[in-house]
Structure 1
Amino acid sequence: MADEIVLTDADFEQYRNLIYNESGINFTKTNRSILEGRLKERLRGKTGITLGSYFTTISKDKEELKGFLDSVTTNLTRFFRNQAQFDALEHHVIPELMKIKKPTGNTTIKIWSAGCSTGEEPYTIAMLLTEILPPPWKFEIVASDISLKCLMTGKEGFYADGRMDGIPDNYLKKYFDKVTGGYKVKPELMAKIRFDYHNLKNDSGQRNLDIVFCRNVIIYFDEQTQLGVVNRFWDSMASKAFLFIGHSESLFGMNTKFEFVKTEWATLYRKFI
């Protein structure tokens, strides 16, 4: 039974290496109990399955592997999380980009919400830009995550009452419909975001992005994987584009080409070429 599952040292090394190789997420000895708990949840109700046989299954079955990786990721988020960063987006980043892009005639701002979890971050960005961008300016948002379950929540656009904290009343009325048990994002806002599965260990294929949000994600990677992810962000971004990471995260000491930017509201990074 799942409740009887106990990770041996050998099991732990086997699973943590698979998770690292497939996703870049680094389970250390200090969070071993988290992995054990997620495995118990994953195997609950599956009779006759051992840790060894399940490892063999996920090593061969790509869909089951995706489901397993989904179960071990942490997905903590909320609307307007770290308001200071959205203030920096509104008062510094967007004006800067409009100034740069206007002479080129390109009035589309391209944004990637990487590690978007259940969608609160890209919807927050979409609401804010809808409010502040004047015609003929428009925006495109790609929201990606390794968790298929989270992506489905984002695509559905339904959030329970208890998850609506932080949304200004005028935004709540304008961009959501009240439904039983919670709120549903209005179709016109949902249409502005494309949700897509993506593993940050791989190149997303995106190019010429103006803004990348990847907040509270790289903290789960080791230094080598972090550097690879950040360098792939660089490759995906246009000249003078902006990168937002979590307020407790930093590129300090990392050999990247990004330059540190300190604004009145929050700190961020920029591709200055």
Structure 2
Amino acid sequence: MGTSFLNDQEFDQYRELIYNESGIHFSASNRSILESRLKERLRLTKVETPALYLKRIRENGDEMKVLLDSVTTNLTRFFRNTAHFQTLEYYVIPDLIRHKQDSGNKTLRIWSAGCSTGEEPYSLAMVCKDLLPAGFTVEIVASDLSLKSLMTAKEGLYPEPRLNGVPDKYVKRFFSPEGDGFRVNEEIKRLIKFDYHNLKFDSGQRNLDLVFCRNVIIYFDEPAQEAVIQKFWQAMNGHSYLFIGHSESLFGMKTGFEFLKTDWACIYRKFT
């Protein structure tokens, strides 16, 4: 099929549909990624042409979800970006503990948006379990556009090499050996609710203390990025923190978030 798998009109139709459904933006420079994922879907569904597959996804919401799943990149690992977790451990959680002790509300509410196969929310849960004082609880919602990734996340079973980067104290305390891998213990699993969510829409969540959405908005164009960030603002309470990917920035966007440089990493906060 070569590089002319999609003609220019088809490419424009696909990228417009994907953008309208999810906010994910395909430029000419990453056209080859879209084409390779489409080839695979056509092969698996036995649809003969891109035009016929386009018709199918317009008529079949489930197949549209599968395509969106296939075009998202699900690269993640436990405790990804050490500086972020140092900021969380040494700055953000101590500050939230102090604030919540003053307010009398001792529940920490966290959203891991774009959680992929679950390593990020499990990492967050382990840190909270380790650091929160008696009487405090944590509730974590972990969402993704990929149903396949969410199934892996819910299972919580990882091959041993995937545990690279997990502190030994957490491996001993929060994982159990199983076959060739390790399973996350129930005391951590029960802190997390995994849920399918498309960031193009309002999640319905409110009063969040912490949002992690790392290496997700990089796939969106500027209007879609601003829309997502505005939804985060609405979902977060008046004393809260936002973590985005180290290659992502809110610079130039009209948001209410305040840039915060800690000793370890740069993050954003909402103080109103």
TM-score (norm 1): 0.97
Q: What's the counterpart of residue 70 of structure 1?
A: 69
Q: What's the counterpart of residue 105 of structure 2?
A: 106
Q: Residue 5 of structure 1 contacts residue 51 of structure 1 at CA under 8 Å; is this kept in 2?
A: no
Q: What's the counterpart of residue 176 of structure 2?
A: 177
Q: Residue 118 of structure 1 contacts residue 150 of structure 1 at CA under 8 Å; is this kept in 2?
A: yes
Task: For residue 114 of structure 1, report the CA deviation from its aligned partner.
Answer: 0.4
Q: Residue 47 of structure 2 contacts residue 53 of structure 2 at CA under 8 Å; is this kept in 1?
A: no
Q: What's the counterpart of residue 157 of structure 1?
A: 156
Q: What's the counterpart of residue 245 of structure 2?
A: 246
Q: What's the counterpart of residue 27 of structure 2?
A: 28
The C-alpha deviation readout for 1:144-203, integer Å capped at 9, x for no partner, is 001101111100101112211111112112111111221111122111100001100100
The C-alpha deviation readout for 1:39-83, integer Å capped at 9, x for no partner, is 111122433532111111110111111111101101110000001
TM-score (norm 2): 0.97
Task: For residue 256 of structure 1, report the CA deviation from its aligned partner.
Answer: 0.7
- Count how many residue pairs are aligned between Structure 1 and Structure 2: 272
Which residue identity does 1:99 align to in structure 2?
A: R
1:1-273 alignment, distance < 5 Å: 6-273=5-272
Structure-2 change in CA distance of 1:62 and 1:234 (3 Å):
same
Runs (5+) with no aligned partner, structure 1: none
| 1:234 partner SS | helix
Runs (5+) with no aligned partner, structure 2: none
| 2:124 partner SS | helix
Question: What is the distance in 2 between the residues matched to 1:46 and 1:207?
Answer: 39
Task: For residue 104 of structure 1, report the CA deviation from its aligned partner.
Answer: 2.0
Structure-2 change in CA distance of 1:59 and 1:105 (3 Å):
same
Question: What is the distance in 1 between the residues matched to 2:25 and 2:207?
Answer: 30
Structure-2 change in CA distance of 1:141 and 1:266 (3 Å):
same
Q: Residue 107 of structure 1 contacts residue 137 of structure 1 at CA under 8 Å; is this kept in 2?
A: yes
Question: What is the distance in 1 between the residues matched to 2:161 and 2:4?
Answer: 33
Q: Residue 3 of structure 1 contacts residue 40 of structure 1 at CA under 8 Å; is this kept in 2?
A: no
| 2:267 partner SS | strand
Q: How many percent of aligned residue pairs carry the same amino acid?
A: 58
Question: What is the distance in 1 between the residues matched to 2:192 and 2:226?
Answer: 27
Question: What is the distance in 2 between the residues matched to 1:187 and 1:56?
Answer: 43
| 1:268 partner SS | strand
Question: What is the distance in 1 between the residues matched to 2:4 and 2:229?
Answer: 36
More deviation, 107-116/36-45: 36-45
More deviation, 232-241/4-13: 4-13
Which residue identity does 2:203 align to in structure 1?
A: S
| 1:141 partner SS | strand
